[in-house]
Amino acid sequence: MSDFNDFSSASASEKAEASELQRMIAVEQQKAQFQAQVHNFTDVCWEKCVDKPSSKLDSRTEGCLVSCVERFIDTTLTITNRFTQMVQKGAH
Amino acid sequence: MDGFGSDFSSGAAGSGKMDPGTIMEQVKVQIAVANAQELLQRMTDKCFKKCVGKPGGSLDNSEQKCIAMCMDRYMDAWNTASRAYNSRLQRRERDLTTQLSAALPVPPENRRKRLWSKVYQARATWQ
């Protein structure tokens, strides 16, 4: 039986199992990253779009939230791109 | 129930090795708990700001009702943001796929068939 602390002697199936596990964990990490972003968007866009909490989210507020997420992403991209250009030009 | 994810020996059965199913279960639970904590923390912050004026001796009825409504609206907002972000990611994936397939040359029909038969042969050996 292979020694569990010595991975060089692990069988092919054990190695395959370990890499499959790594893959599955990476999938869960990606999902967690997505959710962390949604928390951020909700936080920022709540401030911009929700005035008084009501009994239902009306269509105007819904539209505002959707636009807010899109524009926030656009803003992030704009800043990243422009900042990259600035750094490349040697700005401080 | 043990603290979430704090007891890693529960699936070991003495061999020092856990089965992938148990590991994945614990990973998912830990992530779900962290997600719920984040949601509650931000929700509490927002709803306190919106619903509680000058803090009194206790939360009155209107404040309680406001907090309940605020919780529901915050979760609605979270779901809306989640859908919007998902759509945006899918659109980006579609655009990238379109760009990529436009940039790649399409092999002629007979070469395509040979490539696909190689894929099927390889797949058969994986069983």
Task: Tell me the pLDDT tens digit for each residue of B51-99.
Answer: 999 999 999 999 999 999 999 999 999 999 999 999 999 998 888 888 8
Q: Which of B65, B80, B39 is nearest to A48 (CA)?
A: B80
Buried b vs exposed e over B69-94: b needs ≥16 C-beta within 10 Å?
A: bbbebbebbbebbbebbeeeeeeeee
> Mean of the per-residue pLDDT values for chain B?
85
Chain A contact present for B75, CB below 8 A: no
Query: With contact defined as beta carbons under 8 Å apart, do A44 and A68 qualify?
Result: yes
Output the pLDDT for position A24.
94
Q: Which residue of A has its CA nearest to B50?
A: A52
pLDDT-above-90 percentage for chain B: 55
- Pick from B15, B81, B86: CB nearest A45: B81
Rounded CA-CA distance B85/B78 in Å is 11
C-alpha B92: how far from chain center: 18
**Phi, psi dihedral angles at B88 (to 5 degrees):** -60, -40
Q: Which residue of A has its CA nearest to B29?
A: A28
A53·B69 Cβ contact <8 A = yes
CA distances from B60 to A53, B53, B57, B64 (A): 17, 11, 9, 6
As for the ipTM of the complex, it is 0.83
Give me the helix-helix angle, A59-88 and B61-103, nearest 10°: 50
Most confident range (mean pLDDT) of A55-64, B4-13, B94-103 is A55-64
- Between chain A and chain B, the number of residue pairs with CB atoms below 8 A apart is 87
pLDDT-above-70 percentage for chain B: 85
pTM above 0.90, yes or no: no
